[in-house]
Amino acid sequence: MLNNPIYRRDFLERLGKVSLGTVVAGGLPVWAGDTRIEQERKTWQPVSERKVRVGIVGYGVCRFGAAFGFQDHPNVDVVAVSDLIPERRQALMKACRCDKSYESLEILVKDKKIEAVFVATDAPSHARHCIEVLKHGKHVMTAVPAVFGSIEDAEKLLETVQTTGLKYMMAETSCFRADCYGMRQIYRAGGFGRLIYSEGEYYHYHAKPIGSFKGWRIGLPPLWYPTHSTAYYVGVTGKRFTSVSCVGFNAGFDAYRPGANKYNNPFTDEVALFKTSEGGSSRMLMCKGIHKLIVERGRVFGERGWMDGTEYHGASKELGDTTRPPLPPGVPAGGHGGSHGRLTDEFITSILQDREPMVNIYEALAMTVPGIVAHKSALKNGQMLKIPQYVRR
């Protein structure tokens, strides 16, 4: 497991930390970050006995195809899997306990038995693959980011979701981390008021690029992969970034030397300052150059209270239930702070209840596209740029 860069990151985050601790407001426990404590407080209740027939695509370096627990969910039947590489395809079949596979996503989506697909392919293909799934009449959940460096692809993806009327969900893990989930519940209960300032930080040091299909990670512009950070504002408030100024930095790694990557990107690190639709500001970053630092975290500061990852400080005592939803029996919490299983349950439940999933197309683009604009700002020495807004019809 520790050879997998994603699980290794979770392991490093947990060193020296048993749990997030118990938040106290007015003397009452609000939540405990330990999954076992959360499970003791809540019991998962099925909303239906029906099984959603799911196809899973992608079993690359991070093995995400099997990492989100679809194969363990009581309301899921994994019908078929796919990966372009035969050895990985066989491994994904075994991991998902599935006896059918297809050579590509383009073939898998033609299977009429499948009604939803989890796209865990390379990031540059996410938008194209999701559009292909939707056009074949199937719901889709995708790994992050929603689109890869292209605002045009964002428009195409949005149009496809709106035209088909099918469920689309981006599996942004920060949204179901214990701290971010608690922040969202407190915000909705009025415990923060308007956010004056917020921060989202995604540090992932790697002097040598992580392996990736066709080398897509080599020289990747940092804020083309922004959602682990931007979720700490958009995923908390449901509000939007309206403009951005961003500064880039080059830590001197080989993949970021002139001409060394296909993105013509010189930056290992990018720090963006956004203006928000609430009138506040938000600092969001993605940094690869800070020595051996690997963590995702966020903080929010509002008119009525603030939160620095683990504790709420403020005037409100009516914060609502800030414990994360319980996991279905047999579904592991998974990586990224125990978010994987909850993301899968949210997607499947949205289909069964015929409702919008938490990170729908509008929220997904609101977390993704600002990073694309921020990178453009960094290339222009921090010029303030406006951010497109995605509004439901």
* 275's tokens: 């203006």
Q: Please, what are the domains in the chain?
A: 19-35+173-324+361-386 (3.30.360.10)
pLDDT of residue 62: 87
Helices (H), 312-360: 335-338, 340-353
Average pLDDT by stretches of 10, the chain with 393 residues: 49 39 36 46 91 97 94 98 98 98 98 98 98 98 98 98 98 97 96 98 92 94 98 98 98 96 98 98 98 96 91 89 94 96 98 98 98 98 97 77
| Rounded Cα–Cα distance for residues 203 and 42 (Å) | 32
Residue 8, C-beta contacts closer than 8 angstroms, at least 6 positions apart: 1, 2, 294
Structure confidence by residue, pLDDT tens digits, 22-43: 433 333 334 444 444 454 468 9
pLDDT of residue 392: 82
Q: 53: which strand partners?
A: 77
Count other Cβ atoms within 10 Å, centred on residue 19.
15
**In a 10 Å sphere around its CB, with 0-12 CB exposed, 13-18 middle and 19+ buried, how is residue 310 labelled?**
middle
- Cβ atoms of 141 and 116 within 8 Å: the answer is yes
* 310's tokens: 């683990």
pLDDT of residue 10: 55
Structure confidence by residue, pLDDT tens digits, 321-362: 899 999 999 999 999 999 999 999 999 999 999 999 999 999
Say whether 228 sits in a helix, a strand or coil: helix
pTM: 0.91
* 128's tokens: 């194209």
Count other Cβ atoms within 10 Å, centred on residue 286.
30
pLDDT of residue 4: 53
